[in-house]
Structure 1
Amino acid sequence: MSAEQMFYLIIGIISVQFVFEQWLDYLNKGRWQSPIPSELEGVYDDDKYKKQQAYQKANFGFGMLSEFFSFALMMAVLFGGGFAIVNGWVMQWSDSVIVQSILFFAVIGGISTVLNLPFSIYGTFVIEERFGFNKTTVKTFVLDAIKSMLLTALIGGPLLALIIWLYASAGSLFWFYAWLVSSAFMIFMTMFYTTLILPLFNKQTPLEAGELREAIESFSAKAGFKLDNVFVMDGSKRSTKANAFFSGLGSRKRIVLYDTLINDLSTEEIVAVLAHEVGHYKLKHTLWGTINGVLQTGVMLFLFGLVVNSPLLSQALGVNQPNFHIGLLVFGILYSPVSFLTGMFMSLFSRKNEYAADAYAASFGLGDALISGLKTISGNALSNLTPHPTYVFFHYSHPPLLQRIKAIKAK
């Protein structure tokens, strides 16, 4: 294969992915006005259903615009030799492969952040504000952006530098050592994200004593779940949408409830949602998710190690001498179809886990309360109750509400 053929293969992969995503969005759009199934009656009244339709329409149009902008920008950069230009700049700044690669990704990332900033602002302060979801202040938005950039520099920079050092010094075993480093980092973040990173953005406080705490402790005793870390997070700082999640492994496990969830649901509904999260722990979903992530990373790094020094990858983007950052960039694009397929299977795996966690909660007689809570959460978020099955298959990490309700009632 010539460098020109490789270039057009890259163009083809990006183009096919873009067209496919637009097709999925189009399919999903056609289901917006489908009649609401009888099992979901009461989620929306007529006025709220009209609001939900308007919200979906606004997000669809905005999503199309942002996706087309990203696609057009990528095409412009590829045909204009933009990556080769940035590569030429960083080569002039340093002879160190580590410095060159970090500067390359810093420039690309910085430009991408600036160009996408207007879309982020519009999505938060126009669309989410218009439909009553946004609680983010300008100060919080700016601080979030600054913190995210600093974290990327302080954590991502040294991690990337270590991997590049391994690439330069470990020879053919580079991929294996990089896998060990990446896996250690992945496990560390799984265990400590909610205690080290999340507090930089949100305040978490232990669930206070009272009716809810007593109800949760009663359930935990029945479930044989050691209740040490149940926290309330100030999700209302940014949005009115409610959520809850489980994170961590072993003694580092933690359940986090959004304060909006506590405000929106009854005590029994909250216990049902928490039982669902406990189900994820009891059924070892977090552990298996981490193992799957580690294995996928190993496969990806093995394949990357085989081709990183190929001149063909760099020459496809107009760079004569192969280097780490251009090789990684091209490999990421070429690997994206594989990522798409593995992501599809991970979504199937995730949806299966959600059904199992629902069944776990229902096994304690909390099925009706869970259904009621899920209906409230979906209604308050103006969720699409009738998504297209094909769109669900490729994009949903959770089953649609109707399928979850049917599965819970079947238990």
Structure 2
Amino acid sequence: MNASLLLLLGCILAAWFANTLSSLLDARRLSPAPPQGLEDIYDPEEYARSQRYARARLRFGALAETWDTLLVAGFLILGGFPLADELARQAAQGLGLAGAWAETATGLVFFAMLGLAHDLAGLPFSLYHTFVLEDRFGFNRTSPATFVLDRLKGWLLAALIGGPLLAVILWLLRVFGPGAWVGCWAIAAAVSLLLAYVAPTWILPLFNKFSPLEDDALRADIEALAQKEGFALSGLFVMDGSRRSAKGNAFFTGLGRRKRIALFDTLLEKMNRDEILGVLAHEVGHWKLGHIRTRILIGILRLGALLWLLSLLLGWNTLFADLGLPASGHAGLALFSLLLAPASLLLGALTNALSRRHEYQADRFAARATGAPLALSSALKKLVRQNLANLTPHPLSVFLFHSHPPLPERLAALDALAENADQP
């Protein structure tokens, strides 16, 4: 076992350790009684159910993470990458291509094989999560037909969108070498922006039905709120989230004239007018405060940094030689994703820290816009109760994986806003 293989295995195991440690610490924080001051969120029976759900999810997540780690480590140790590369080259040769086109075709076949194999290897876990774990706690509403269609649509979109983008990147790397990272960055960033623009009208409707909000009185209140805040509301839709899950949610998506706010139908079933306005004002706040633009910019800069690091790795001939791989763009991308595993956790943690800060800011915006911070508090409590969310995540788990602050901290911030508003 050479140094390059040990390095790759070390990166994979470091990411596994961080994920597993987070799950173990989360499990130890579970308590038979809710945190002080939050007793009104769950009744005792529902709280006990939320703890069972959290424990089941943590066990399942740790098992799935361990399986995935063992799968990738075994693939590395048994020489899976050289074998996949050879099979991909044989397939490309059968097409009669040469030069950069042959290398590009090899890379596409290489990633198609690895992606499909990885997806199929994880299929039992996806099935268990959807039809056993989520069903056991009353959340699953996904039919077998919907599950299959979602998979097929996902593969089709990956082929139609990801395939051409990957082909261009591999071709550029083959023709221009490591210096092609700037061109790859420009093209990938342009595609990302285009997808963000067209996703609300072209991609999301492939998976869910979006219907205009029919409640005229509620729509009028929402439009008045948007107009008061100078927000051009180009779309307000109800999404059939109940087609797959009983959980509730709301989100902002799209850019420019295609931006829209979507409410899960399951959320509308549980909330009153003031609570819905609070949730919507929160989503409007993300746009008005520049959070969407900031996240897009950070994503583009992060993409550029990753492609620059990839260009450095492509010159690391020892790594390819130790693994029995010819130096190539597709092999470099695959190995880079493994080497980056620990760094990805840290980058994700920094992104999540910014996201949590944005959530506090959007909460403050909603409280000011509606003049009812306690209505948003009530909405958040209902969302937690509806989704059986864990009230006591460990700080390490929050730091690494949570894009939203823990509920007790959000409620405390909103309570402080309400107290300040009441003071003369």
TM-score normalized by structure 1? Answer: 0.96
1:54-106 CA distance string (max 9 Å, x none): 11121122222211111111121111111111111112222411111111111
Aligned residue for 1:379, secondary structure, equals helix
**Aligned twin of 1:17:** 15
**Aligned twin of 1:295:** 301
Verify: 1:147 aligned to 2:153, yes or no.
yes
**Aligned twin of 1:169:** 175
**Aligned twin of 1:347:** 352
Verify: 1:220 aligned to 2:226, yes or no.
yes
- Give the letter for the 1:257 counterpart: L
- Is the alpha carbon distance of 1:172 and 1:380 closer, same or farther for their aligned partners in structure 2, counting shifts above 3 Å? closer
1:248 touches 1:286 (CA, 8 Å); kept in 2? no
**Displacement of 1:331:** 1.5
Choose the corresponding residue for 1:275, options 277, 281, 288: 281
- Give the letter for the 1:283 counterpart: L
**Aligned twin of 1:30:** 28
Verify: 1:306 aligned to 2:304, yes or no.
no
1:34 touches 1:386 (CA, 8 Å); kept in 2? no
Verify: 1:80 aligned to 2:78, yes or no.
yes
1:220-241 CA distance string (max 9 Å, x none): 2322222221111111100010
2:178 touches 2:314 (CA, 8 Å); kept in 1? no
- Is the alpha carbon distance of 1:397 and 1:119 closer, same or farther for their aligned partners in structure 2, counting shifts above 3 Å? same
- Give the letter for the 2:113 counterpart: V
Choose the corresponding residue for 2:64, options 48, 57, 66: 66
Verify: 1:250 aligned to 2:252, yes or no.
no
**Displacement of 1:172:** 4.5
Verify: 1:396 aligned to 2:402, yes or no.
yes
- Give the letter for the 2:108 counterpart: I
**Displacement of 1:193:** 1.3
2:209 touches 2:239 (CA, 8 Å); kept in 1? yes
1:231 touches 1:257 (CA, 8 Å); kept in 2? yes
**Displacement of 1:389:** 1.4
Choose the corresponding residue for 2:4, options 3, 6, 9: 6
**Aligned twin of 2:50:** 52
**Displacement of 1:9:** 0.8
| Matched residues, number | 408
1:344 touches 1:393 (CA, 8 Å); kept in 2? yes
Distance 2:287 2:91 in 1: 49
Distance 2:129 2:28 in 1: 23
- Give the letter for the 1:36 counterpart: P
1:309 touches 1:323 (CA, 8 Å); kept in 2? no
**Aligned twin of 1:117:** 123
**Displacement of 1:339:** 2.1
Choose the corresponding residue for 1:382, options 358, 381, 388: 388
1:40 touches 1:375 (CA, 8 Å); kept in 2? no
Distance 2:37 2:225 in 1: 27
2:201 touches 2:258 (CA, 8 Å); kept in 1? no
**Aligned twin of 1:127:** 133
1:367 touches 1:409 (CA, 8 Å); kept in 2? yes
Distance 2:322 2:236 in 1: 52
Choose the corresponding residue for 1:315, options 321, 330, 333: 321
- Give the letter for the 2:272 counterpart: S
Choose the corresponding residue for 2:190, options 173, 184, 193: 184
Verify: 1:368 aligned to 2:366, yes or no.
no
1:309 touches 1:327 (CA, 8 Å); kept in 2? no
Q: Structure 2 regions of 5+ residues with no counterpart?
A: 94-101, 418-424
Distance 1:182 1:174 in 2: 12
Among all aligned residue pairs of Structure 1 and Structure 2, give the percentage whose two residues are the same amino acid.
42
2:29 touches 2:392 (CA, 8 Å); kept in 1? yes
Choose the corresponding residue for 1:338, options 334, 343, 354: 343
Segments of 4+ in structure 1 off by > 4 A?
Answer: none
TM-score normalized by structure 2? Answer: 0.93
- Per mean C-alpha deviation after superposition, the further-off stretch among 188-197 and 396-405 is 188-197
**Displacement of 1:35:** 3.6
Q: Structure 1 regions of 5+ residues with no counterpart?
A: none
- Give the letter for the 1:221 counterpart: Q
**Displacement of 1:34:** 6.0
- Give the letter for the 1:327 counterpart: G
Choose the corresponding residue for 1:105, options 81, 103, 111: 111
**Aligned twin of 2:332:** 327
Distance 2:414 2:233 in 1: 25
Distance 1:62 1:307 in 2: 35
Distance 2:302 2:322 in 1: 26
Verify: 1:229 aligned to 2:235, yes or no.
yes
1:205-229 CA distance string (max 9 Å, x none): 1112422112212222322222221
- Give the letter for the 1:269 counterpart: E
- Per mean C-alpha deviation after superposition, the further-off stretch among 190-199 and 136-145 is 190-199
